[in-house]
Structure 1
C-alpha cells in the first residue's frame, strides 16, 4: 500500500510517496530524486531508529503530520537543473565574498544597526523567513527587497549589504530617513521590527503566527453598579510595562493586562475613571514581547531609556494570564509537556557525557553529533505529538497548544536613548539542545556567546538591555 512521507531538509519540506514494504535503500533513492543528496550522504532520522538500507518502511512509526529529518548536502557540482551562465564581471562584491558556515552578518550603512538587529530577529523565525524567501516576485517592493536579503542570508554570505531594503524602508516610512547635518539619524529598533512585521503580515498573510487574542472587560470605577462591557482585542506583541516595582518580565506583563483611563459617563454627568482588564484567548506560535523602556522627555527632545533591570525567563509560562475558556486545556498539555521535557533532559545529559569515537574523522564526528542531536529533537517532537489532540495540525500549526514558550531571540539596546546608542541581536542556535549556544549579531560581526551572557541582558545600566524578546511555542 502506498504511503506519503514528509521529509525536511535544509528548511524545506518534501512529500515522498513509497509503498509500505519499500526498503530503506528505495526510500533514500526517492529522497535523492527530490533533494539531489546521494544516498551515501544521507542521514535519515526515523522514529524507532536510524534508517538502514535493508529496513522496511513499515517497521517505523511514520506520522504523516511530522516531517522526517534528513541530514546531508548534495555533492559538489550536483544540480537539479541547468543554471544560466554567470560571468564574473556581472557579480558584485558581496557575491564574490567567500561563503561561510556561520550565519550572515549585515553591513552597517550608517546608524542602521536598528534595522540589522531587527532583520536578524525576524530571519530566525523560520516560518516567516521561508515565506519571505519565496516572495521574490511580490508586488510589494519592500517585501521583494527583504526577500533578496533573506536569500543571501540563506546562502550564508558574509557582509551582506541591505542597501536596497534600507532604501525601500525609508521610502515607505519617512521617519527612518530623518537626517541631521547631512547624516542619517539612529532610529528605534522596535519601530523598525514592528513596521516590517506589519508589512509582512499584510502582504504574506502571516498574521496568525503572531497574533495574540484578548477578551476585555471594561467597568466604571465610580459607578460599580453599571454593567461591565465585554469586548475583544488583537495585537502582534505583548507589552511589558516597567515601573519602580518591576523586577521580572511577569510583573510587567501583568501590568499590561490592566489599563485605567477617563471618559465621560452619562449617568454621572461628567468624566469618570474606567478600568479595562484583559485575559488572553489566543496564544500564537511566535510571541513577541516588547519591553517599554523608552519614554519621551520634553527637556531633551529624546526618547529616554528606563535603565531598570528586568529579568526574563528562557521558558515563559503564560497560564495565569489566560482566559478561563482556554486555560484548562492549555495547562493540561503543559503538564504533559513538562514530563516529556524531563525525559529529554536525560537524553541530552547522556549525549553530552558520551565519549567521542576516536576512529572517526572530525568531519565524521560532527555529522554523527548532528545526527544524534536531530534524533533527540525528533523524538521530543514525536512524543509531543502523541499528547496532542488527534486533529491538531502540528506541521502547520499557527497557535500554541500549551501555555509554554521558549526564548529564541533577543534585540538589545545599549545607551540612554532610543535615538542614540547601539542595537544588537542575540539568536539561539537551533542545534543547541540546552540553550547554551547563542549567536551574537553586531552588524557584520558574528560571534557565539553562552546562556550566561544572554541572562545578563536584563538591563540595569547603559550596557546591552533587552528591548524585544521573541519566544516560540514549546514543541512546535
Structure 2
C-alpha cells in the first residue's frame, strides 16, 4: 500500500463497504470501485464526504480524508444487480390463506357479528395490537375450551356437574382466538371466546324481551377481559413471576382525602391504589381529554365525619406515581338518569391528541424524573422525522432527470445552446448548496442511547413495563355510534405499523378497511356518529429508527 492509499468506510443504505482508495486519484476511479460493490452505476452515484457532494472533476485529497473516514453513497442499484431469489418465488394465487395472513402488510381478519357482539369484536381488535400481550398469550398453557374448564391438567373423567360449576379459562380462549385470527385473512367467528366470556361473566348473556342477546357496553367488556388477564396471565419482571396486566397496563395513584369543612381534628387520609384506565369525566366544560382526566383525579365525596358527628363533604385528589407502558383512557359517556330511569349517552365533542403528555397528571416527584427524558425524547423524535423527510427530498433530487440531455437544452440562447443564463446558474448554485446542507444534516445523526443515558432515571428504568418519559402515542380507538347506551354500534380503529405512519385499520365487525389518519379526527363526538369511548396509548419508543441507527453507527 502506497503512502497515498488509505482504507475508508462507504455506507450505502444499510450496508457498509470497506475500500482502499488513492486520495490523489480522480473520483471516477472510486465510483468504478463502488459500482462493482453496489451495482449503482457511476452516473447515478452521489458521494457525500464531510457533508459535501463530491464532484466528478475533483480528487479526494481536497477533502482531507484520513484512514477509517466515513463516506456516504446514495443511488439505486442498476437492473443487472437483480439476482435469482434464494427461495422459490411464491405467487399470491398459489399461497394458502394461512400463508397470506403472514405476508407483511396483509389485511388482518375481521370478526363475525354473532348478534349484538360488536362490543366484543371492537375490544378484541384493539387489544390484539399489543405485541407483549401476544407473546405472553402464546406461553399460556391452560385449556381454552369453555366446556372443559379444568384446563390442561384436568381429569378427563371429571364430573360433568363440576364442569358446569367451574369457570372456563378466558385467557386461554383469547390466546386461541388470536392464533386462529392470525392464520386467516377471512373473517372469523369468535364463538368459543364469546361462550367463555358469557360463562365467566353472565351479564354478557342477558337477553331482551325479543329473546335476542342484548347490546353490551364495550368498556365493561374491556374491563372484564383485563380482570381475567390480570388473574391468569403471568410474565416475568426482574426475574419474578408477576401479572402481565400489572407489569404493562397498570398505573398507580397516590390519593389524599380531606374534609372541606372546618374539621381541624381530622387529618387527610393518604392512600395508594392501582388503575388500569384513566377516566375522562365529561361535563359542560369538558373540551379536551386532559380536562376530563384532571376532573377525574379530583372529586367531591359526601361521607360521615367523626369529628363533626354528621355527613360532610370531602375532596379526594389523586396524582399518578407510576405510568404503565400501555395507558387506557375511558370517556365516561354513559350514565344513569334517575328522572327517566334509563342509561343515556353524553354526545359532547371531546378531542384527544395523537401524542399525549401525561406528566401533568403525576406527582411532583415523578414529574421531575420524567421531564428531562420527555424533553430530550420529543426533540429526538422530531429530529428523526425531519431527517426522514430530508432523505426523501434527497432521493427525489438524485432520482431526477439530468439537466443536459442529448442535443442540449433550450435555454435563453436558443435550442441546442450549451450556454446558461445567469439566473439558471444562480438557481443551480442555490440547489447545490441546499443539497450539501441537507447531506451534512443527514450525515450528523445523534446516537439516542448516548443522548438519553444521563437523563433516564435508574429507579424508573428498573421498573420493567413502565413509561420512563411520560410521553404516549395513540394506537387504538374503540368507538360507539348512536344515541343510546343500550343500542348503537361499536367499531375499532388501530394504527397500521410501517408505511407512512398515517394509515389506520378500520374494524367494523367482519369488514376491515384502511383509512387515513384524518378519519381519527372525526371521532371526537358531538353527535350520533362514531365517538371515542376507549383510547389506547403506548409509551413513545426510546429506540432509534433503524435507518438513523445504522447511520449513527
**TM-score band w.r.t. shorter chain:** 0.7 to 0.9
Q: Which runs of 5+ in 1 are unaligned?
A: 1-46, 60-72, 79-92, 359-377
* Mapped pair 1:288 → 2:328: yes
Aligned counterpart, 1:370: none
Q: 2:196 aligns with which of 168, 173, 182?
A: 168
Aligned counterpart, 2:74: none
Aligned counterpart, 2:268: 228
Aligned counterpart, 1:442: 508
* Mapped pair 1:319 → 2:395: no
1:228-283 deviation digits (Å, cap 9, x = unpaired)? 22111111110000000000111101100111111111221111111110111000
TM-score (norm 1): 0.73
2:137–2:175 CA contact under 8 A, matched in 1? yes
**C-alpha distance in structure 2 between counterparts of 1:335 and 1:96, whole Å:** 43
Pairing 1:325-474 to 2, within 5 Å after superposition = 325-353=365-393, 354-355=395-396, 386=453, 389=456, 397-433=464-500, 435-474=501-540
1:110-149 deviation digits (Å, cap 9, x = unpaired)? 1111000000111111111221233253546211211111
**C-alpha distance in structure 1 between counterparts of 2:187 and 2:447, whole Å:** 36
Aligned counterpart, 2:183: 155
User: Structure 1 residues 400 and 184 mapped into 2: Cα distance closer, same or farther (>3 Å)?
Assistant: same
**C-alpha distance in structure 1 between counterparts of 2:451 and 2:191, whole Å:** 42
Q: Which runs of 5+ in 2 are unaligned?
A: 1-10, 20-67, 69-84, 91-95, 144-150, 152-167, 234-242, 400-444, 543-553
Aligned counterpart, 2:228: 199
**C-alpha distance in structure 1 between counterparts of 2:232 and 2:274, whole Å:** 18
User: Structure 1 residues 384 and 117 mapped into 2: Cα distance closer, same or farther (>3 Å)?
Assistant: farther
Residue 132 of structure 1: SS of its match in structure 2?
helix
| Greater mean deviation of Cα atoms: 148-157 or 178-187 | 148-157
Residue 219 of structure 2: SS of its match in structure 1?
helix
**C-alpha distance in structure 1 between counterparts of 2:12 and 2:307, whole Å:** 69
Count, aligned residues: 382
**C-alpha distance in structure 1 between counterparts of 2:456 and 2:17, whole Å:** 34
**C-alpha distance in structure 1 between counterparts of 2:317 and 2:541, whole Å:** 30
2:174–2:193 CA contact under 8 A, matched in 1? yes
2:101–2:184 CA contact under 8 A, matched in 1? no
**C-alpha distance in structure 2 between counterparts of 1:313 and 1:227, whole Å:** 38
User: Structure 1 residues 320 and 134 mapped into 2: Cα distance closer, same or farther (>3 Å)?
Assistant: same
Residue 179 of structure 1: SS of its match in structure 2?
coil
TM-score (norm 2): 0.63
**C-alpha distance in structure 2 between counterparts of 1:77 and 1:144, whole Å:** 36
**C-alpha distance in structure 2 between counterparts of 1:402 and 1:428, whole Å:** 21
- 1:103 deviates by 1.5
**C-alpha distance in structure 1 between counterparts of 2:263 and 2:489, whole Å:** 48
**C-alpha distance in structure 2 between counterparts of 1:260 and 1:118, whole Å:** 31
| Greater mean deviation of Cα atoms: 331-340 or 292-301 | 292-301
Aligned counterpart, 2:127: 122
**C-alpha distance in structure 2 between counterparts of 1:379 and 1:446, whole Å:** 39
1:211-240 deviation digits (Å, cap 9, x = unpaired)? 111111111111253322211111111000
Aligned counterpart, 2:247: 208
**C-alpha distance in structure 2 between counterparts of 1:381 and 1:440, whole Å:** 34
**C-alpha distance in structure 2 between counterparts of 1:99 and 1:317, whole Å:** 35
**C-alpha distance in structure 2 between counterparts of 1:380 and 1:461, whole Å:** 47
Q: Which has the greater radius of gyration? A: 2
**C-alpha distance in structure 1 between counterparts of 2:398 and 2:539, whole Å:** 35
**C-alpha distance in structure 1 between counterparts of 2:339 and 2:97, whole Å:** 44
User: Structure 1 residues 233 and 380 mapped into 2: Cα distance closer, same or farther (>3 Å)?
Assistant: farther
**C-alpha distance in structure 1 between counterparts of 2:109 and 2:452, whole Å:** 33
Q: 2:216 aligns with which of 187, 208, 213?
A: 187
Aligned counterpart, 2:436: none
Indicate the RMSD between aligned Cα atoms, in angstroms.
3.4
**C-alpha distance in structure 1 between counterparts of 2:519 and 2:448, whole Å:** 28
1:364-411 deviation digits (Å, cap 9, x = unpaired)? xxxxxxxxxxxxxx9997577646548589799300001111101000
Residue 184 of structure 1: SS of its match in structure 2?
coil
- 1:157 deviates by 3.0
1:333–1:387 CA contact under 8 A, matched in 2? no
**C-alpha distance in structure 2 between counterparts of 1:469 and 1:280, whole Å:** 18
* Mapped pair 1:276 → 2:316: yes
User: Structure 1 residues 75 and 382 mapped into 2: Cα distance closer, same or farther (>3 Å)?
Assistant: farther
Pairing 1:68-147 to 2, within 5 Å after superposition = 75=87, 101-138=106-143, 139=151, 141-147=169-175
Q: 2:14 aligns with which of 50, 65, 80?
A: 50
| Greater mean deviation of Cα atoms: 230-239 or 392-401 | 392-401
1:94–1:160 CA contact under 8 A, matched in 2? no
**C-alpha distance in structure 1 between counterparts of 2:128 and 2:229, whole Å:** 12
